[in-house]
């Protein structure tokens, strides 16, 4: 299974999750299906960090799309253009990338310092209340650290996801099913599409769901 197929799977499951959250809030089945999206995105982000030609541009892209998506995210879920209590998932991914950059730069020379610095983006995600918070940052670091030991990484993810579900929602337990498609990842890129399509899908589908909710619900 290529990264392209994983991206499509994550996009579809995310759209199903948000459809349940915004249009059918009483339908837990849709939310359960959507739980696999975030772990897949975290896995792909760690892979992308390894293969990207520019760490800096990768970080900037996440930050820019976070800023673009924030008013859409806030209006879709909170009916306001600015809700400081919760930030969209692009900021979690940005902070996860920041953690990887800190690890790559400092861990080889000083492992203790490198691991300690990872706490900064973790705490930032918690303080800013980004989507999935510090759990998302740690998950990205986990997938990066275990990229050469996938079975161990997926097992550790399943345990971490279980622990996170105990502090968030039982529905999050379904996120562990992401290990199935991730176990079949073949390391290949697959068909190439402009990267902005995958980034733009996030605010675009939230806008569509908001419009549907406004028109029919």
Give Cα separations from 209 to 14, 75, 80, 130 (angstroms).
12, 11, 15, 21
**Chain segment 133-187, per-residue pLDDT in tens:** 999 999 999 999 999 999 999 999 999 999 999 988 899 999 999 999 999 999 9
Predicted TM-score (pTM) above 0.85: yes
DSSP alpha helices (H): ranges in the chain? 3-22, 28-34, 37-51, 55-78, 89-106, 111-117, 119-128, 133-145, 150-167, 179-183, 195-216
| pLDDT for residue 2 is more than 90 | yes
Neighbours of 12 (CB within 10 A): 14
Task: Report the b/e string of 177-203 with b at 16+ CB within 10 A.
Answer: bbbebbeebeeeeeeeeeeeebbeebb
Select from 140, 181, 133, 177 the least CA-distant residue to 158: 177
Q: What pLDDT is recorded for position 71?
A: 96
């Amino acid at each position: 299974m290529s990264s392209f197929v994983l991206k499509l799977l994550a996009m579809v499951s995310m759209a199903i999750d948000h459809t349940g959250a915004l249009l059918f809030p009483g339908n837990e089945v849709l939310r359960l299906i959507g739980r696999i999206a975030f772990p897949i995105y975290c896995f792909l982000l760690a892979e992308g960090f390894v293969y990207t030609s520019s760490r800096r541009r990768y970080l900037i892209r996440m930050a820019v799309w976070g800023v673009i998506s924030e008013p859409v995210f806030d209006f879709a879920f909170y009916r306001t253009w600015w809700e400081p209590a919760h930030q969209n998932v692009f900021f979690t991914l940005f902070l996860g990338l920041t953690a990887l950059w800190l690890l790559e730069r400092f861990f080889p020379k000083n492992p203790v310092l490198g691991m300690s610095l990872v706490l900064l983006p973790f705490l930032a995600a918690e303080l800013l209340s980004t989507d999935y918070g510090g759990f998302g940052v740690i998950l990205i670091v986990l997938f990066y650290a275990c990229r050469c030991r996938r079975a161990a990484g997926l097992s550790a993810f399943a345990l971490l996801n279980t622990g996170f579900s105990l502090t968030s929602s039982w529905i999050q337990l379904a996120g562990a099913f992401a290990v199935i498609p991730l176990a079949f990842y073949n390391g290949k890129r697959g068909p190439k599409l402009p990267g902005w399509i995958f980034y733009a899908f996030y605010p675009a589908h939230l806008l569509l769901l908001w419009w549907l909710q406004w028109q029919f619900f």
